[in-house]
Amino acid sequence: MFKQILKYYHTIKYLKWLQVKYQLWYRMSSFVPILRNTSPTPEVIINDIQYEAIAFEKSIVTEGLWLGDQRFQFLNIEHDFKGAIDWNYSKYGKLWTYNLNYFEYLNQAHISKEDGLALIHNFIENESTIKDGLEPFPSSLRLIFWIRFIIQNNIKEKEIDQSMYRQAYRLSAMPEYHLMGNHLLENGFSLLFCAIYFSDKKLHHQAHQIIVEQLQEQILADGGHFELSPMYHQILLYRILDCINLLQHSSTVPSASLLKVLKKQASLMLGWMKKMTYSNGDMPRLNDSTIGIAPTSNSLQEYADRLKVNIRNTSLMESGYRKITKKPYEVILDIGQIGPDYIPGHAHSDTFNFELYHNGNPLIVDTGISTYEKNERRQLERSTISHNTVCVGNAEQSEIWGGFRVARRAKVTIIEDGPNQFIAKHDGYKKLDCIHERSFIGNESSFTLIDKITGSQEGVAFFHFYPEADIILDNNIIKGHTWQISFKHCNNISMENYLYANGYNDTTKAIQVQVSFNKELNTTINFI
């Protein structure tokens, strides 16, 4: 009981007062509906829409979400409703339900105006019974995709406008200040789309305030998003580019100052993305990141080029990520903090984790994520042993729990910072009277790790290999076709299977190597 209280204390103590305030308010409003009833009378809006002043050029095309009729595929799970769509369908978890309600499939190249309208009308007909889909986050995305679809197909329907206006003011009354982070930014982007579409100065003022304040807070000086997920970085960059697209082709509400802010931040984020992207176009799958959700780096860069948004080259610094690039390999390593203290929901217990690509192909990889459900799999994928770092005494570096929560967390001190050698230490094992120090050393034909731990506990270094990697253990040396890994001062080396996440609800068996040691372990990867 006392341990549970401590866990809650070490989780809650980092929250901002604003988060606590809004958490209490929203919980109260869920029991007192009149507190949420802030929607304006729908009839007042119709004559105010200046359709001719709104434009939206081609964005990034989505594929494979709506499969025709009542068939959908999200998170690698296909479902056919075979009749009436159940917008509250929950068999596959809340994230699948969210995706159904996002309406991102309106952005598919093959969807017709008639099919898109039929899906929108189906939602409106069932709006009074919808639950999860009316929450602020899915509402935010849905309004953006509806407005994009409506503008591009020159749709003018009073019923749709009335529904969107209701949804917009419901969102306006419930921005996610209790969560902050990417959720609040998505609220702001959606309110901006609604403000432009409805020529609504009140919504525009609120959107402007949220976006400017949150971009200043969330985009670090090196251009990285502060939640430190490359996937969410790409998603938010995509949304910023969509906002730039809308503002550059619309004139219903003065937005010159906001457009300037959006372009500046997009330029920085493009620079960070370029630094973090591997030569084959992949982005690292660190923290909550996986494939098939965010647009690719290449598609985002192409979109930015069409919008004439320039890239601002930056050096990786404040995000805590570093990159070593040599002719035979690329390494991205993490010597940063776990993330923003008050919103670590997408963070993992992965301090000093790294990924290594050899000749443009993944070799040592992050295990990735396959679920957002609050279950054992989610807990494992966020845990220390699922990352390429050192576990001491079977303890977690940072106390991850509850799917999206973190209590005690490792604090990092950087000792040496590049260009080809990085040394840092963290105190995540201080409860074991242990400090872990790791050195990353990049040479032209080799990459070396030096791990040092204080105290009497045994450490175990984990190395997760890409599923296609063909490896053997030969006399304490891990061998591949054109590389080998040797260890000094190790106690034991073992190879076991682990589940590599290809995406949500999709895993493949692969090999992980565990190397136990006391005090110090030297690991050298030589490229032949």
Asked if residue 39 belongs to a domain, the reply is no
Dihedral pair phi/psi, residue 236, rounded to 5°: -70, -35
For 329, the token pair is: 């390999």
| Residue numbers of the domain that contains 195 | 52-306
Residues 292 and 337 reside in one and the same domain: no
DSSP-assigned letter for residue 340: -
CA distance 339 to 272: 16
CB neighbours of 446 closer than 8 A, spacing ≥ 6? 524, 525, 526, 527
Residues 390 and 331 reside in one and the same domain: yes
Q: What is the pLDDT along the chain (528 residues), one digit of tens a residue?
A: 777 888 877 888 888 888 888 888 877 776 655 445 444 444 445 555 555 568 888 898 898 899 999 999 999 999 999 989 999 999 999 999 999 999 999 999 889 999 999 999 999 999 999 999 999 999 999 999 999 999 999 999 999 999 999 999 999 999 999 999 999 999 999 999 999 999 899 999 999 999 999 999 999 999 999 999 999 999 999 999 999 999 998 876 667 899 999 999 999 999 999 999 999 999 999 999 999 999 999 999 999 999 999 999 999 999 999 999 999 999 999 999 999 999 999 999 999 999 999 999 999 999 999 999 999 999 999 999 999 999 999 999 999 989 999 999 999 999 999 899 999 999 999 999 999 999 999 999 999 999 999 988 999 999 999 999 999 999 889 999 999 999 999 999 999 999 999 999 999 999 999 999 999 999 999 998
Residues 440 and 472 reside in one and the same domain: yes
Residues 331 and 289 reside in one and the same domain: no
For 515, the token pair is: 């190397």
3-state secondary structure of 439: strand
CATH number at residue 98: 1.50.10.100
For 94, the token pair is: 């809340």
Residues 92 and 119 reside in one and the same domain: yes
The domain total for the chain is 2
CATH number at residue 363: 2.70.98.70
Residues 353 and 444 reside in one and the same domain: yes
Residues 374 and 301 reside in one and the same domain: no
Residues 111 and 239 reside in one and the same domain: yes
Residues 298 and 326 reside in one and the same domain: no
Asked if residue 156 belongs to a domain, the reply is yes
Give the 3-state DSSP-derived string for 275-311, with helices as H, strands as E and coil as C: HHCCCCCCCCCCCCCCCCCCCCHHHHHHHHHHCCCCC
Q: Which of 277, 306, 335 is the last residue of a domain?
A: 306
Of 31, 26, 97, 105, the C-alpha closest to 69 is 105
Residues 179 and 215 reside in one and the same domain: yes
Residues 293 and 328 reside in one and the same domain: no
Q: Which of 250, 276, 306 is the last residue of a domain?
A: 306
Residues 181 and 260 reside in one and the same domain: yes
Asked if residue 18 belongs to a domain, the reply is no
Considering the entire predicted model, what is its pTM?
A: 0.95
Q: Which of 253, 273, 306 is the last residue of a domain?
A: 306
CA distance 353 to 422: 13
